[in-house]
Amino acid sequence: MRTLPNSGTRPVRCTGLAIPAGRGPMTDEPYRAAVSAALAADWLTRPAERPDRIGFVGAGSLSTRVYEELIGTGWRFDEVGVHDPRTARAFEMARHIRRRRRDAKVLVHDNAKSVVWSSDLVVLAVDPAAEYLRNPFWFQHNPLVLNVLPGALPHDVVAPVVNINLLVENP
Confirm whether 167 is domain-assigned. no
Q: Give tens-digit pLDDT for 118-155.
A: 999 999 888 665 566 777 788 888 888 888 876 556 66
Confirm whether 138 is domain-assigned. yes
3-state secondary structure 88-142: HHHHHHHHHHHHHCCCCEEEECCCHHHHHHCCCEEEECCCCHHHCCCCHHHHCCC
Confirm whether 45 is domain-assigned. no
Confirm whether 133 is domain-assigned. yes
Write down the pLDDT at residue 25.
46
Confirm whether 151 is domain-assigned. yes
Task: List the beta bridge partners of residue 123.
Answer: 56, 146
Q: How many domains does the chain have?
A: 1
What 8-state DSSP symbol labels residue 60? Answer: S
Confirm whether 16 is domain-assigned. no
Q: Are 58 and 145 in contact (CB under 8 A)?
A: no
> CA dist 66 to 4, 35, 40, 42, 135, Å?
19, 7, 11, 12, 24
Q: Tell me, what CATH number does 123's domain have?
A: 3.40.50.720
Confirm whether 132 is domain-assigned. yes
CA distance 27 to 149: 17
CA distance 154 to 14: 19
Confirm whether 8 is domain-assigned. no
Write down the pLDDT at residue 45.
84
pLDDT (mean) for 56-66 = 92
Query: Which of 72-76, 100-104, 165-169 shows the lowest mean pLDDT across its residues?
Result: 165-169
For residue 117, the enclosing domain spans 50-158
Looking at beta carbons, which pairs linking 131-137 to residues 24 or more positions away fall under 8 Å?
A: 132/57, 132/85, 133/57, 133/157, 136/160
Whether the per-residue pLDDT at 90 is higher than 60: the answer is yes
Q: Give tens-digit pLDDT for 6-53.
A: 333 433 333 333 344 444 444 567 778 888 888 888 888 888 888 999
